[in-house]
C-alpha cells in the first residue's frame, strides 16, 4: 500500500500562519496589556503596583514557555501545539474580561505568557526551515511583522472599546485573537526542525552573544509595560493618548525587523547590531530627559521598532559567526537567555514602580542596561564560510 504525502502548504499560507501566531501570542497576548494598564488602574480593578505585577507575570511566564517549547514539540504534533497555544491565548483574554480576582487574573496573564513563549520558540524557526533558503528573508519579515500588526490593531481599537467599559476591551481582544487563530490554522509543517549537529566553532563569541542578548531583554521592559501609563497618567494626557503612544510603538514594531534586515544586508550584522543597540539606549532614555508627549511618542517609535527588530539581527549575527547550523543551535539558548532577562526585568520593573510610582527612573535604568549589553556584544569578525 502506498501512502501519498500530504501536499506542502504554500509559502504564503505558511507565512500567514507565522504572522498570525505572533499577532496572537505577542501582539495581543502580551503587548495589548500595556495600553490597558492605565484603564485597569483608573477603573479600580487593580492598584498601580498590582497592575504592573500582572504585566510582569506575563513576561516571567514567557520564560516557562520558552523552556518547555522544545520538549512539548517532541510529543505534540506541531500544528496541534501551535493551534492549541493560540486558542489558549484567546481563552485567557476572554476570562480576563469577566473581572476575575487577582489570582485568577494573574493566572490568565501567566497562561498567555507560556503560550507566547511556545509560539515564539517553535513557530518562526519551524516555518523558516520548511521554505527554500532564498525565500527565508521574506518569510521572516512577514512573520515577525505580526508582533507590530497585533500591537497596532489592539492599540487602535482599544480607545473605542474602552468607551464601552474595560470588560468590552478584553472581549474585543479575545475576539481578535480567535479571528487570527483561524487565519493561522493552516500552513504549519508537521514537526519542528531537528536539532542541528553541534558546531564547536565560534563558541566563545556565541556565548558572549547569548549573554548580551539576555541582558538586552531588560532595558525594553519599562516601555513594554509602562509607556502607555507614562503618557496617560505620568504626563497627564489621558488614556486615549496613552493608547496612541502604543499604536506608535506597534508601528515601529511592524517596521523594525524589515528595516533591520535591509540595513544588515548592506552594513553587515555586526555593525548593524551595534548601531541598533546605541539607538535603543538613546530612545529609552529620551522620555526621562525630555518629559513631553512628542518625546515619548518618538521614544515609543524607536523602542518599538527595536524590540522585535533586534532578535533577527542577533540571529543573523550568529549566522555570521557560526553558520546556519551553529546559529540554529544558538537560537534556543538565546531565546531562553532573553526570557530570563525579561523575567528579571519584569520583576525589577514591577517592584521599582510599586515603590517609586514614577516612570523616569525606570527609563534611566533601562538605558544603562542597554549600554551594558552593547559592551558585551562580541567584536569578532565573521570567518570566511
Sign of the dihedral through C-alpha 346, 347, 348, 350 = positive
Handedness of CA 256, 258, 263, 264 (dihedral sign): positive
Read off the C-alpha cell for 259.
528595516
Kindly write down the DSSP assignment for every residue of 220-245, as one continuous string: THHHHHHHHHIIIIIS---HHHHHHH
Reduced DSSP (H G I as helix, E B as strand, rest coil) percent helix, strand, coil of the chain, to 5:
80, 0, 20
pLDDT over threshold 90, residue 121: no
User: How far apart (Å, rounded) are the C-alpha atoms in residues 127 and 9?
Assistant: 10
Query: Which stretch, 4-18, 161-175, 252-266, has highest mean pLDDT?
Result: 161-175
Maximum CA pair distance of the chain? 72
Identify the burial level of 189 via C-beta atoms within 10 angstroms of its C-beta, where 0-12 means exposed, 13-18 middle and 19 or more buried: middle
Q: State pLDDT tens for residues 338-370.
A: 888 887 888 888 888 888 778 888 999 999 999
pLDDT at 170 over 90: yes
| Residue 275 CB contacts under 8 Å (≥ 6 apart), including other chains | 263, 267
Place of cell 516571567: 60
CATH number of the domain at 307, please.
1.20.1250.20
- For 139, the domain range is 11-376
Residue 4 lies in a domain: no
Instruction: Say if 316 falls within a structural domain.
Output: yes
Is residue 385 in a domain?
no
C-alpha distances (whole Å) from 203 to each of 50, 200, 304, 329, 385 are 42, 6, 31, 11, 16
Please tell me whether residue 7 adopts helix, strand or coil conformation: coil
CA atoms of 337 and 223, how far apart (whole Å):
20
Once rounded to an integer, what is the mean pLDDT over residues 130-134? 66
How many domains would you assign to the chain? 1
Residue 1's pLDDT is 45
pLDDT of residue 153: 83
d(CA 327, CA 367): 28
Is 32 within the bounds of a domain? yes
| pLDDT tens figures, 2-12 | 445 455 567 77
pLDDT tens profile 192-251: 666 555 555 567 888 999 999 999 999 988 887 788 888 888 888 888 888 788 788 888
Share of the chain above pLDDT 90, in %: 35
Determine contact, residues 249/26, Cβ cutoff 8 Å.
no
Q: Can you read off the three cell numbers belonging to residue 101?
A: 480576582
- Within-domain flag for 220: yes
> Is residue 2 assigned to a domain?
no
Q: For residue 40, is it within any domain?
A: yes
Residue 294 neighbours by CB under 8 Å, 6+ apart: none
Q: Would the pLDDT of 133 be above 80? A: no
Q: What is the per-residue pLDDT for 201?
A: 56
User: Which residue, among 107, 100, 117, has the nearest Cα to 30 in the 3D structure?
Assistant: 117
- Specify if 382 maps to a domain: no
| pLDDT for 382 beyond 70 | no
Amino acid at each position: 500500500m502506498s501512502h501519498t504525502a500530504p501536499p506542502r502548504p504554500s509559502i504564503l499560507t505558511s507565512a500567514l500562519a507565522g504572522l498570525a501566531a505572533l499577532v496572537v501570542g505577542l501582539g495581543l497576548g502580551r503587548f495589548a496589556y500595556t495600553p490597558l494598564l492605565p484603564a485597569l488602574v483608573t477603573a479600580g480593578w487593580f492598584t498601580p503596583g498590582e497592575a504592573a505585577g500582572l504585566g510582569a507575570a506575563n513576561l516571567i511566564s514567557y520564560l516557562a514557555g520558552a523552556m518547555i517549547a522544545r520538549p512539548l514539540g517532541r510529543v505534540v504534533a506541531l500544528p496541534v501545539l501551535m493551534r492549541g497555544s493560540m486558542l489558549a491565548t484567546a481563552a485567557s483574554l476572554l476570562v480576563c474580561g469577566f473581572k476575575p480576582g487577582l489570582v485568577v487574573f494573574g493566572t490568565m496573564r501567566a497562561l498567555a505568557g507560556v503560550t507566547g513563549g511556545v509560539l515564539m520558540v517553535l513557530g518562526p524557526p519551524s516555518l523558516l526551515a520548511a521554505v527554500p533558503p532564498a525565500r527565508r528573508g521574506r518569510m521572516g519579515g512577514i512573520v515577525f511583522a505580526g508582533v507590530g500588526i497585533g500591537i497596532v490593531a489592539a492599540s487602535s481599537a482599544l480607545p473605542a472599546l474602552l468607551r464601552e467599559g474595560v470588560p468590552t476591551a478584553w472581549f474585543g481582544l479575545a475576539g481578535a485573537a480567535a479571528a487570527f487563530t483561524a487565519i493561522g490554522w493552516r500552513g504549519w509543517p508537521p514537526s519542528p526542525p531537528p536539532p542541528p549537529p553541534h558546531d564547536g566553532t565560534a563558541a566563545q563569541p556565541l556565548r558572549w552573544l547569548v549573554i548580551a542578548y539576555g541582558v538586552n531583554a531588560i532595558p525594553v521592559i519599562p516601555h513594554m509595560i509602562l509607556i502607555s501609563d507614562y503618557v496617560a497618567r505620568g504626563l497627564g494626557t489621558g488614556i486615549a493618548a496613552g493608547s496612541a503612544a502604543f499604536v506608535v510603538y506597534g508601528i515601529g514594531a511592524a517596521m523594525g525587523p524589515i528595516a533591520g534586515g535591509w540595513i544588515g544586508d548592506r552594513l553587515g550584522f555586526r555593525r548593524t547590531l551595534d548601531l541598533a543597540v546605541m539607538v535603543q539606549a538613546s530612545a529609552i532614555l529620551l522620555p526621562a530627559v525630555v518629559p513631553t508627549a512628542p518625546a515619548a511618542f518618538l521614544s515609543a517609535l524607536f523602542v518599538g521598532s527595536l524590540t522585535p527588530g533586534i532578535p533577527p539581527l542577533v540571529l543573523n549575527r550568529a549566522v555570521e559567526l557560526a553558520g546556519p547550523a551553529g546559529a540554529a543551535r544558538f537560537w534556543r539558548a538565546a531565546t531562553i537567555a532573553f526570557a530570563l532577562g525579561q523575567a528579571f526585568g519584569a520583576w525589577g520593573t514591577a517592584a521599582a514602580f510599586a515603590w517609586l510610582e514614577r516612570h523616569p527612573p525606570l527609563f534611566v535604568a533601562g538605558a544603562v542596561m542597554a549600554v551594558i549589553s552593547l559592551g558585551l556584544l562580541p567584536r569578532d569578525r565573521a570567518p570566511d564560510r
